[in-house]
Amino acid sequence: MAQNRLRDCLNARVSAGVFSKEKADMLEALATDLEREYREQMAPELAGQAAAAEAVRIMREAAEANKRRTALQIMAQTRALDDAATHPDGVVAGGMALLVRDMRGKATFSNVEARKEVVLGQLFRRAEQGLNAFRSKAAGLVQNTAGMRNVVKELFGEATNDAEAKGFSKGFTDASDYAADRFIAAGGDLTKREDWRLPQVHDAQRIRKAGFEGWRDTIMPLLDDRTWSRLESMRQELIGERRTVEDAIATATKQRDELKAKAGASRQQFESVSGTATSAERRIRDLDRQLAEVNRELEAQRARAMEHQLNARERRLNEVERTAADADALLPDQQDAAAAARRGDAKAGRDRVRAGEADTAISRLESRRADLERQLDAQRVRRADAEEAVKGKSGHWQAYEEDLRRLEQTISDLEKNRRIIKDRITAEPGAINAAHREEVLRYIFDQMTSEVPASLKPGTMAASRHNARRFFEFKDADSWLAYNDKFGAGQGGLYDVLVGHMEGMARDIALTEILGPKHGATVRALQEAAYKAEGARDMGVLARLNPVRSVESAAAIGRTYDVLSGRLGAAQSELTAAIFGGIRNWMTASKLGSALVSAVPADSVMATWAAKANGVPAVKLLGSVLKQLNPASEADRAFALRMGIVSSAVMDSAIGSKRFADEIVGQGITGRMASFVVRAQGLSAWTNGMKNAFMLEMMGHVADNAGKPLGEVDAPLRKMLERYGFSATDWDVIRAAPQMEHEGARFFDPANVSDRQLGERLMEAIIEERAFAVLEPDARVRQLTTGGLQRGTFMGEMARSAMLFKSFSITMATTHLARAFIDANGSKVAQLAALSTMLTLAGAVSIQARQIITGKDPRRMDDPKFWGAAWMQGGGAGIFGDFFAAGLDRGQQGLPMTLAGPVFGLADQAARLAIPDYRKVLEGEPTKFGAEVARFVRYNLPGANLWYSRLVTDRAVMDTIQSMVDPDYRQSFRRMEDRARKDYGQRFWWRPGQAPDRAPDLEAALPR
């Protein structure tokens, strides 16, 4: 009865135009759901009334939430545009500074990347005990996967008598609640459910392989009835969503047509003013040519006039001389004298006529020249006006073209969605039944296995990214685990699910807080402003070739956002991404086993340099690093995590466990090999230790100065605070916060600051200063090394492969070099020179250490080539330093292959194996095939170059392999020694193919 009255009421509202049909259907479906639930608690009539009232309240709250999100978006977008516009170096630099650390060091506002790390630190500190207890250990070979199953059971409220699992369950729940509340407060589209426990991930590849029937038959018995009670609401939402998609297609199509017209008109205007500028340029060139001809003719006329004048003077002089010489002879003969006089007068008259003609021609040419110069001035003004118009128009049509491209993609994706939805969801409302369940599950299956980007898949609140992961409700922990084991993260991926959820929430919170709920729209607005600013600048050839544009431009803003939002990480083709990604992982596993040897000296220099710049003593920093690296100092590492310092140690996946029981070696085997090599050599522990130590010492330094007003704070720290925009009032709020104590030392804790934004902004500032201590590629660098192209595309994978191992050098350029050369002065250049000197010394240490661990004596240090290589090594381009002394790099490849990257170098080496010298084979001559095989294995075997075992591996394994496959292995070994002696003046202390007969000769490094 109540349901009928509600339907009649809704139909009346629809007829009156108060409600849309979609909204009425959603309200009725929600009331039906609620009534079914309330019937268990009250009389049917009362249940219907209560359900109707509650449905209206929920819909009203949803409408208010939409209004609130719109308001928050407007405020966030306005704030972002204002921040970008007020950046001292313009809106382009300001737009990039909203996304990543400002490489110019002038931004006083927050950015997405630093905010994400701060938020993630706040989530991790809430789950600190569980993260430390269940993270992978022993270089990723060990992880308590059985304990993680207990964590899932604890999250479902099932007691396991596992204290660590219970603690992790509570910590994760606290972190998830904090993240959800903060995301919603920022305007995020999320419906918080009290019965939500943990996210459910879905492996699209395994679901696709099982097919709809196999997936459906697995999941249906595992779902709780509450899922089915929500399906009717979802079905009605999808009915409305189908209409919404169709409306969106119509709207987008209309917008596309309008944009095409605007883009066409704007481009025509651009081409018109460009044509005017080109026409003016052609006219200027023509006038310049004519003026040049007039000037040449004028010079010729002047030369002729001068010649006539000289001739006349010469003749008069000759006449006078003849008259003086022959005066006596001429006197008697008056007639001859008169005739001579007449002849002289005639010649003089003729000369005067000729001179007059020349003067007239010169005057005419000068008048012509003046006229041409006036025309030239007019054409130059015309050209300048046209060029100014070109600058103003170029940004407009480029922005239109970019928007049009995005809109075309949106329409294409919406069309895919419409095809997916079509004929799947029936339009008749009513109680959920088996057919409806089938329809909805079919729809979900198609969504999970389609290639449509998640951000464009249909759905309102219930189908948003985070809400979608909260839809399914499983009966109990065993049901959740059963599904997860088959179609989710797998048995070995439970820890990654929880950590990945916190990382994803931190990313979305940062994007929403900085750029607004519709952060994509804010970025497009920033790009449009940046394009206009670029169009208004004089973008000549040199300006367009400026390498800074690759990391700071309107286009770079869009690419950086794609990196931060995760769009570039979503594979367009899983197969393509797996092939190229596997090769890159293989290269990492086979090339970076001794990276620690280079990292320790260089990182030590940069970290102490950055610490000194902020007033932290180098001795304290290095002491803190040693404590972080000490295996017995687990409490120090736990304290860093508890202070909100993000550590990759708790984010690394386990290497030794398979995700799924039916796998032979497990997915991502090459990725696990690469991760093992990085962690087994100690590089991961070293990097985490450096980051933790720098952050803790900076937080301790802040605490040490908390008793002073800003004017009395240590000068380096005060300058840092002022550079990031902190006022004396801000500092007073920060220093009033309670401090944390650990082993007798006090530390600044951002969570204790009464103004959360101030505390987090200071934490962001410390993180940004850390970028100069421990170089890690940020989103600005990653947009360059990926080419801004999506993973799984051919060009995107080629770009990633070509830029492999080059991000460190680019990061050096965007940190230390940018700080020195942007607004350069003598002090900055001097500081860079001092840092470069220290890094060169660090590079020298790295080179000599590498010589010893490869069985060679140290290189001579009185050789200028050595110091050139050391300078390159200190800047992160050590492999190119090999070319100072030799024509090949350390992998025995030339400069072109080194520039192309190790992936292409691998292809070159493989080609040598696949294409042997057939002529020598046919003629029975010996080939170098065996040597090529040995070299290929030596330089491409994962884990073979771990710094502490590579020499033994080389001599005991690699030399043995070469002696088996290379008939001329003795000559090959001799060539290795000869090359070392010729190129570097070195000898082997452990010769190839032999046992060591002496220790390294350290005196070989000294001048001779």
Question: Could you report the per-residue pLDDT of 771-799, keeping only the tens digit for each?
Answer: 999 999 999 999 999 988 888 888 999 88
pLDDT range class, residue 94, cuts 50, 70, 90? very high
Compute the distance between CA of residue 70 and CA of residue 81 in angstroms, rounded to an integer: 16
Q: How many angstroms separate the CA atoms of 371 and 378, rounded?
A: 11
Amino acid in the structure at residue 712: E
pLDDT higher than threshold 50 for residue 481 = yes
Task: Give the C-alpha separation, 684 to 653, whole Å.
Answer: 13
- The answer to whether 890 touches 879, Cβ cutoff 8 Å, is yes
Q: What is the mean pLDDT of residues 323-345?
A: 53
Q: Model confidence at 692, in pLDDT bands (50, 70, 90)?
A: very high
- Distances, alpha carbon 889 to alpha carbons 394, 766, 885, in Å: 45, 38, 10
> 930 or 125: which carries more pLDDT confidence?
125
Kindly report which listed range (248-262, 580-594, 640-654, 667-681) carries the lowest average pLDDT score: 248-262
Q: Which two tokens stand for residue 399?
A: 């922005």
pLDDT at 532: 86
pLDDT band at 404 (very low <50, low <70, confident <90, very high): low
The CA distance from 782 to 779, in Å, is: 5
User: Which pLDDT value is given to residue 838?
Assistant: 93
CA-only gyration radius of the chain, Å: 39
Predicted confidence at residue 45, as pLDDT, reads 66
Q: What is the mean pLDDT of the chain?
A: 79
Partners of 988 in beta bridges:
856
pLDDT tens figures, 790-847: 888 889 998 898 888 888 888 998 998 888 888 888 888 898 899 999 999 999 999 9
What pLDDT, on a 0 to 100 scale, did the predictor assign at position 774?
92
Counting Cβ atoms within 10 Å, is residue 795 exposed (0-12), middle (13-18) or buried (19+)? exposed
Say whether pLDDT at 384 is over 50.
yes
Question: For residues 403 and 173, which has the higher predicted lDDT (pLDDT)?
Answer: 173
Closest to 585 in 3D by CA, of 683, 670, 678, 680: 670
pLDDT at 897: 63
Burial zone of 999 (CB within 10 Å; 0-12 exposed, 13-18 middle, 19+ buried): exposed
3-state secondary structure of 564: helix
Quote the pLDDT of residue 548: 78
458, pLDDT greater than 80: no
Asked whether residue 397 carries a pLDDT value surpassing 60, the answer given is: no
First-residue to last-residue Cα distance in the chain: 105
1000 pLDDT above the threshold of 60: yes
Q: How far apart are CA 315 and CA 895, in angstroms?
A: 76
- The pLDDT assigned to 345 comes to 52
Per mean pLDDT, which range of 55-59, 569-573, 618-622 is the poorest?
55-59
pLDDT digits (tens, 9 = 90+) for 921-964: 455 556 677 777 888 888 888 888 899 999 999 999 988 888 88
458, 419 contact by CB (below 8 A): no
Residues 6+ apart with CB under 8 A from 151: 130, 134, 165, 168, 169, 172, 494, 498
Q: What is the pLDDT of residues 856-868, one digit of tens each?
A: 999 989 888 888 8
Res. 428: pLDDT tops 50: no
Res 533: pLDDT: 86
The answer on pLDDT for 848 being more than 50 is yes
* CB 800, CB 146: distance < 8 Å: no
CA distance 767 to 760: 10
Residue type, 911: A
- How confident is the model at residue 781, as a pLDDT? 93
Amino acid at 952: V
- Rounded Cα gap, residues 85 and 80, in angstroms: 9
pLDDT number for residue 571: 81
Looking at residue 426, its pLDDT comes to 46
With contact defined as beta carbons under 8 Å apart, do 735 and 747 qualify? no
How many whole angstroms separate alpha carbon 850 and alpha carbon 113?
Answer: 35
Section 660-686 average pLDDT:
73
Give the percent of the chain with pLDDT over 70: 70
Contact 589, 942 (CB under 8 A): yes
881 falls in which pLDDT band (50, 70, 90)? very low
**pLDDT for the residue 242:** 61
Going by pLDDT thresholds of 50, 70 and 90, the confidence category of residue 295 is: confident
What confidence score (pLDDT) does residue 238 get?
A: 55
Q: Residue 980 CA to chain centroid, in angstroms?
A: 40
State the amino acid at position 881 in one-letter form: G
Task: Using the predicted structure, report yes or no on whether residue 383 has a pLDDT greater than 90.
Answer: no
| Cα–Cα distance, 929 to 916 (Å, whole number) | 7
pLDDT per residue over 725-751, tens digit each?
999 999 999 999 999 999 889 999 999
Alpha-carbon gap, residue 8 to 18, rounded angstroms: 14
Q: What is the DSSP string of 418-480?
A: HHHHTTTS--------HHHHHHHHHHHHHHHHS-S-GGGSS-SGGGSHHHHTT---BSSHHHH
Percent of residues, the chain, with pLDDT higher than 90:
32
Q: Are 75 and 533 in contact (CB under 8 A)?
A: no
Mutual angle of helices 204-219 and 434-449, in 10-degree steps:
170
Q: Is the pLDDT assigned to residue 753 strictly greater than 80? A: yes
- Per-residue pLDDT of 952-977, as tens digits, reads 999 999 888 888 888 888 888 888 88
pLDDT of residue 127: 93
pLDDT band at 401; cut points 50, 70, 90: low
Angstrom distances, CA of residue 681 to CA of 16, 142, 650, 854: 73, 16, 18, 16
Mean pLDDT over 607-613 rounds to 93
Q: Across residues 64-76, what is the average pLDDT?
A: 84
Inform me whether the pLDDT recorded for 358 exceeds 80. no
* Residue in 136, 124, 130, 33 with CA at minimum distance from that of residue 657: 136
232: pLDDT confidence band, cut at 50, 70 and 90? low
pLDDT classification of 909: cutoffs 50, 70, 90: confident
Q: Which of 101-115, 348-362, 628-642, 946-960 is predicted with the least confidence, judged by mean pLDDT?
A: 348-362
DSSP 888: S
φ, ψ of residue 745 to 5 degrees: the values are: -105, 150
Residues 411-425: what's their mean pLDDT? 58
| Residue range 93-114: mean pLDDT, rounded | 95
